[in-house]
Amino acid sequence: METTNQSLKPLTTKINENGNLEIGGCDLVDLAEKYGTPLYVVDEYTLRAVCNDYKNAFKKYPKVNMMYASKALCNMGISSILSNEGFGFDVVSSGEIYTVFKAGVDMSKVLFNGNNKSFDELSLALKLGVGRISVDNFFELSLLDEIAKSYGKTADILLRITPGIECHTHEYIQTGHLDSKFGFDLTQIDEAVELIINNYKNLRLHGLHAHIGSQIFETSIYGDEIEILIKEIARIDEKFGLKLDEINAGGGLGVKYTDNDCPPSVYTIADIMINRLNECVEKYNIEPPALFIEPGRSIISTAGVTLYTLGSSKQVPKGKTYFAVDGGMADNARPSMYGAEYFAQVANKPDYELSTSVTIAGRFCESGDILIKDIKLPDLEEGDILCVYNTGAYNYSMSSNYNRVQKPAMVLVNNSQSDIIVNRETLEDLIAHDEIPQRLRK
């Protein structure tokens, strides 16, 4: 069965009676006019559909827990939808912890990840009652034990391990290979467990955690990852008599940015993980552990699009035709950072005949600020509204104020209604943290 991550566009995308694209029952040209561009648009129906994909696909394993990886897109509106869908949260900073806390999330369903969590961040996590902390390294074990002791608390932890699995994705977003900066090497696990048992009395170890990478299209590696986690749990039980009852397999499932991408369905991944889990429970003779997964991109990417207004254009003699939009690498760093490819349509000309290829340039002062290379679009004019698909994940969350440009607004659309969930930054917001030292003032 096809799942939402395999769709190029939000599920509610269609051409309406005005001849324009609409999403969530909202005309994209009207949205651009009402809220301005660039504009991030999130389709609530698509977001809830993918949550259901995950819940249905994994329901065969009763002890499963979905944790949304907030790093893909974190704000209070999105957090409250995911919390309402029954998801927990993977967070990686004070900012993400505070956002989900303020959104009213049940903090016992939050897991704090990261390879260099600070004293202040770990303290905040304990203070706000974050359910699990995935400890990444020896330094953090000792730091967290000390902080937990000073609060008179016991920290509930997982150990992040590096399973030694290489996935075929962009090298910047591989994480599970052996010389990764994340987690304990398999050969270091015993030392960490010994330290927890003998020295760190304020830590309670519940299980193991791994994450192999992102935008992954391979399927069998999820089974291999599960086997490594189970095998280690069984080994720890045998060697230390310590029964761990949680495994967290991270995120990573890919999405369809262009027609060339064929990500597997959530059902395929779920079946591979659950079958291997059941097999391994038998093989290694352990009690079935609780399974945690933490998808980010595959939850939020497809639900999101970005609207831009087309401005200037340039025909290089005997070269490319460039059209520039009013956003670019500051609201979507992925093309310039990873060479990521995107698909787009013109919201006010969705069914016009496609003409020659154009290159969509951003408005930022760098030659590398190209959003889409060589895409076939209809004849373009200044003022056309471009809809770039699959921008829900790692766009707003990686956005910057480069060139001192304000970050765009984000609207949630559903049933013909649109609501702001992130306000557009103002010029005042941009200077809000600046100070001119007294001695420089005239």
Catalytic residues: 365
Position 383: which residue type? G
Closer of 217 and 240 to ligand LLP (Cβ) = 217
Closest CA to 394 of 69, 90, 92, 72: 72
For strands 155-162 and 132-135, give the pairing. Answer: parallel
* Least distance to ligand LLP, CB of residue 385, Å: 24
- Candidate residues 206, 276, 334, 407; the one interacting with ligand LLP per rule CB under 6 A: 334
Question: Interface mask (CB under 6 A) for ligand LLP, residues 149-168, using x and -?
Answer: --------------------
Q: How far is Cα 228 from Cα 218, in angstroms, rounded to an integer? A: 17
- Candidate residues 117, 206, 297, 407; the one interacting with ligand LLP per rule CB under 6 A: 297
Q: Which two tokens stand for residue 141?
A: 């074990």
- Eight-class DSSP state of 379: P
Closer of 156 and 294 to ligand LLP (Cβ) = 294
Annotate 110-144 with b (16+ C-beta within 10 A) or e (fewer). bbbbbeebeeebbbbbbeeebbbbbbbbeebbebb
* Least distance to ligand LLP, CB of residue 20, Å: 29
**Helices (DSSP H) in 152-265: which residue ranges?**
189-198, 220-240
SS3 286: coil
Q: How far is Cα 295 from Cα 4, in angstroms, rounded to an integer? A: 13
Does 394 sit near ligand LLP (CB under 6 A)?
Answer: yes
* Least distance to ligand LLP, CB of residue 230, Å: 19
Q: Are 254 and 266 in contact (CB under 8 A)?
A: no
Does 214 sit near ligand LLP (CB under 6 A)?
Answer: yes
- The torsion angles phi and psi of 76, rounded to 5 degrees, stand at -70, -35
Does 252 sit near ligand LLP (CB under 6 A)?
Answer: yes
Does 298 sit near ligand LLP (CB under 6 A)?
Answer: yes
Closer of 333 and 412 to ligand LLP (Cβ) = 333
Does 186 sit near ligand LLP (CB under 6 A)?
Answer: no
Residues making up the chain, counted from first to last: 442
- Eight-class DSSP state of 245: -
* Least distance to ligand LLP, CB of residue 286, Å: 23
Residue nearest to ligand LLP (CB): 251
Q: Which two tokens stand for residue 407?
A: 């970050």
Does 173 sit near ligand LLP (CB under 6 A)?
Answer: yes
- Candidate residues 21, 42, 69, 192; the one interacting with ligand LLP per rule CB under 6 A: 69
- Candidate residues 13, 215, 309, 348; the one interacting with ligand LLP per rule CB under 6 A: 215
Cβ burial, residue 217 (10 Å; 0-12/13-18/19+): middle
Q: What is the residue whose two structure tokens read 């269609």?
A: 14
Closer of 327 and 350 to ligand LLP (Cβ) = 327
Does 96 sit near ligand LLP (CB under 6 A)?
Answer: no
Question: Interface mask (CB under 6 A) for ligand LLP, residues 352-381, using x and -?
Answer: ------------------------------
Q: Are 169 and 181 in contact (CB under 8 A)?
A: no
Does 348 sit near ligand LLP (CB under 6 A)?
Answer: no
Question: Interface mask (CB under 6 A) for ligand LLP, residues 109-148, using x and -?
Answer: ----x-----------------------------------
**Interface ranges with ligand LLP (CB under 6 A):** 69, 71-72, 90, 113, 173, 175, 211, 214-215, 250-253, 294-298, 334, 338, 394, 398
